[in-house]
Amino acid sequence: MGSLPAPAWEHAVVTGGAGFVGSHLCSALLAAGTAVTCVDDFSTGLAGNVAELGDHPGFTLQEADVSQPFTVRRRPDLVLHLASPASPADYLRLPLHTLDAGSLGTRNALDLAHHSGARFLLASTSEVYGDPREHPQNERYWGHVNPVGPRSVYDEAKRFGEALTTAHGSTRGTDTCVVRLFNTYGPRMRGYDGRAVPTFIRQALAGEPLTVTGDGLQTRSLCYVDDTVAGILAAAAHGMSGPVNIGNPSELTMLDLARWIIELTGSASRIAFVERPTDDPALRCPDITLARDKLQWEPLVAAEEGLRRTIAWFRAHPDG
């Protein structure tokens, strides 16, 4: 389980391909023999994330804002829509851009897939479940989201994107799929993007206090980026419409995560408790029964190994 499917596509378009997950997805597709056009406006993505792919004969980097109609030079047979600010620091800084990416951007990417006869996959999020009242969360749960809270620009953009993807498939016959990605971590995360893993690692390596919000007892389920990418490609190759959860069902508190990172880095940092953000979910854990049964996928990288790899990357990229 967790291995990449056999090459099935000649050319894939990855929107948001210079982002954290998107760049790893571009690398995996190229390694599987698929040509890739990476479309990114660099509002949150980094050209450096795909710099090593620049010399690959199958790779094309195209700067474009997907909320505006866009075209690509070669007809794709797969469109993977990841373009969106995804970290709290980004979507709170870029609220309208986030909503545009989830609405107009999704529509434009769907239209590209439809006119090309391509398979379309929307990278949605566990945030569609909001602050859940069911635990763990399975795909039948409708969620508990504040539609006007500070996180709503991201949560509701993704929820709308799911509705739009579903409608496009049912009314226009576009071959669509929705995956709901749970918390993903690994190399190429930005140290100041506001997510727990890079924030804690950056602080620990600098000897700064690790800022745990609230009492730290809120939970997350962390999936290493290689496993997330394998899940995305498994869903794309399967032909299912979804939604399907892609995440690691191993749950831990943020306080335990902070302590673990201090231990793994050998840091002398202490823990400092700070105010918890509004609408911050208390619980987050995926039910991945559907992914296991239909995709024969489950995460393979243990949390300690994934954290060690991520810490090593941050040591080698102190400006990350």
Q: Measured between alpha carbons, how far is 73 from 69 in angstroms, rounded to an integer?
A: 14
From 129, 154, 185, 224, active-site residue: 154
- 129 in active site: no
Q: Which amino acid is at 73?
A: R
Beta-strand relationship, 210-213 and 59-63: unpaired
∠ CA 257-259-260 to the nearest 5 degrees?
A: 65
Q: Which residues are catalytic?
A: 154
